[in-house]
């Protein structure tokens, strides 16, 4: 079952988990620097966007956010 590693909630599908991360998870770091790869962004919103998008395609970001 896909689980949000940050807050511990589980979901039926990965899609629901991604929606959770992008809209309502309040445990995503409030930082302009990505905690996984160290890239810096103009705003917290951009960093969050990066983190969630990368998790779709890249395993390091994925394992930071998600456990399946």
Site residues (vs Zn ion, CB under 5 A):
4, 6-7, 25, 34, 36-37
Tell the smallest beta-carbon distance from residue 4 to Zn ion (Å). Answer: 3
Tell the smallest beta-carbon distance from residue 26 to Zn ion (Å). Answer: 7
Tell the smallest beta-carbon distance from residue 68 to Zn ion (Å). Answer: 14
Closest to Zn ion by CB, 13 vs 37, is 37
Q: Supply angle C-alpha 24, 51, 67, rounded to 5.
A: 75
Sequence-separated (6 or more) residues with CB below 8 Å from residue 48: 22, 28
Give the CA count within 13 Å in the CB-facing half-sphere of 1: 6
């Amino acid at each position: 079952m896909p689980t949000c590693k940050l807050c511990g909630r589980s979901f039926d599908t990965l899609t629901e988990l991604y929606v959770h991360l992008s809209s309502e998870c309040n445990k995503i770091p409030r930082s302009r620097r990505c905690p996984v790869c160290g890239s810096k962004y103009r705003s917290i919103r951009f960093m969050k966007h990066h983190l969630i998008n990368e998790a779709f395609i890249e395993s390091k970001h994925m394992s930071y956010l998600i456990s399946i």
